[in-house]
Amino acid sequence: MDIIDKIRAKYTNLSKTQRKIADYLLENSNRVAFMTLKKMSEEVNVAEVTILSFSKKIGCNSFMDLKGEFQTYIKGKSVHPEKLSTALSKIESIDSNLAEIISSEMKCVEDAINKIDVKDIKNATKLIKEASKVYLIGAGISEAVTNFLLLRLKHLGISAEIFNITSYHLVSLQMSRRLENSVFIVVTLPTYTKLVTRFTEYLRENDNSVIVLTDSLKSPVAKFANVVFSCSTNSVLFFNTITGLISISNILLTSLAIESKEEILDSIEQLKAFEERFLE
């Protein structure tokens, strides 16, 4: 468990002042790793002794230990740019490497389509169509996929929203307000976020419907899904590409549109009537 997960795990048991420190640390993880105790005290506007107490509360023996854990966390995150650096050094020009880049993206789409099972599309379509609400979960680059899904689902008249899991406090609040018979769509790619994995496990343990989009059936969240879609996310340049996942999303959304055809057409007619009446 890294320092970010440790803070999130303790969040609900923190005092108001301690949550203020936690929020600052979560929002400034890159800076905290190299910050003095005095500087943090000034920026958070709390006493130095309060920060020391907070450090022990989340399992660190001292402020130096806290900084050390943030430095380890930052070092772990820096692995991804190394691929970009290595790949760029090998690419001579767009002219000589364009064919390889195009081929790589095409393979991601082909892999996505080849792995799709019609039964899975039908099952996922049924879950979404019958749900009172769709909640979308993603972190990092996965958010690009969840935002795409959100836009298209709303366009189809499906009630949907992004489910924020940046802190346990927010998760608890949103879960208490969620609608019954909801479905959760979880998008997760390497390196997998531990909080997303644990929350997906929690969802299944409590009989929530879960649809997962990921890079592999061996993904840590795959075993908790009612339906799982996977495809390659390998890229010539970047750590992950979402090309294949967008293709899967398009196919699923098209299936949903066809199954909801009558409702959508009726909604369009109502919109036309509204425009004729009020927007002349």
If asked whether residues 225 and 166 sit together in one domain, one would say yes
Q: Average pLDDT, stretch 115-122? A: 96
- The total domain count for the chain is 2
8 Å CB contact between 245 and 149: no
- Which pLDDT does position 280 carry in this prediction? 58
Question: What does the pLDDT look like over 154-182, one tens digit per residue?
Answer: 999 899 999 988 766 777 888 888 888 99
Per residue in 64-110, pLDDT (tens digit) is 999 888 888 776 655 555 556 666 676 777 776 788 888 888 999 99
What pLDDT does 235 receive? 81
Tell me phi and psi for residue 264, to 5 degrees: -70, -45
Whether residues 126 and 205 share a domain: the answer is yes
In a domain? residue 123: yes
- Report the chain's mean pLDDT, rounded to a whole number: 87
165 and 136 assigned to the same domain: yes
Q: For residue 77, what pLDDT is reported?
A: 59
Domain holding 66: CATH number?
A: 1.10.10.10
Domain boundary, last residue among 44, 77, 110: 77
Q: Which of 147, 154, 151 is nearest to 133 (CA)?
A: 154
Cα(259)–Cα(265) distance, integer angstroms: 12
Question: Which of 96-100, 112-116, 136-140 has the highest average model confidence (pLDDT)?
Answer: 112-116
Residue 93 lies in a domain: no
Clarify whether residues 7 and 116 are in a common domain: no
State how far the Cα of 2 lies from the Cα of 218, in Å rounded to an integer.
22
Tell me the pTM.
0.69
Which helix (H) or strand (E) segment holds residue 214: the answer is strand 209-214
Amino acid at 256: L
Q: Which domain holds residue 59?
A: 3-77
Residues 51 and 114 in one domain: no
* 164 secondary structure, DSSP code: -
The H or E element that residue 160 is part of is strand 160-162
Contact 125, 185 (CB under 8 A): no
Q: Which residues of 180-190 are buried (b: 16+ CB within 10 A; e: fewer)?
A: eebbbbbbbbe
Q: Closest Cα partner for 200 from 180, 218, 226?
A: 226
Same domain, 225 and 120: yes
Instruction: Verify that 60 and 111 share a domain, yes or no.
Output: no
Residue type, 238: F
132 and 7 in one domain? no
Q: Residue 223's domain is classified under what CATH number?
A: 3.40.50.10490
Tell me: do 110 and 236 sit in the same domain. yes
pLDDT digits (tens, 9 = 90+) for 170-218: 778 888 888 889 999 999 998 787 788 889 999 999 999 999 999 999 8
Residue 17 has pLDDT above 90, yes or no: yes
User: Residues 55, 131: one domain?
Assistant: no
